[in-house]
Amino acid sequence: MGGLTEMANIGVKLEEQLVAVGIMSPKELMAVGSREAWLRIKKTTPSARIMLLLALEGAVRGIRWRDLDEQTKNQLKLFYQNTK
């Protein structure tokens, strides 16, 4: 595909989900951002959870999701809760 699996946190399944919503490359994911990418995936996969959002943010930053700082994690958790 578009090299998305070369990014941190992105495996084959997540790459397939991203491609299905029109995000074909790492450059496109970075331009769209984790929140918009997650919202797009959520429309086609209502079961998308917070871990997916954290994984996407880590991918955009080039780090493992576990290495996101607490402030970022908290901001993403709030965003996630507000989209339920």
Report the alpha-carbon distance of residue 39 to residue 32 in Å, rounded.
11
Q: What's the pLDDT tens digit per position in 10-60? A: 999 999 999 999 999 999 999 999 999 999 999 999 999 999 999 999 999
Which residues, including other chains, have CB under 8 Å from residue 67's CB and lie 6 or more apart?
Answer: 58
Report the alpha-carbon distance of residue 16 to residue 14 in Å, rounded.
5
pTM of the predicted model as reported, rounded to 2 decimal places: 0.95
* Domain map (residue ranges) of the chain: 4-82
pLDDT category, 7, cuts 50, 70, 90? very high
pLDDT score recorded for residue 2: 67
Does 1.20.1250.20 match the CATH number of domain 4-82? no
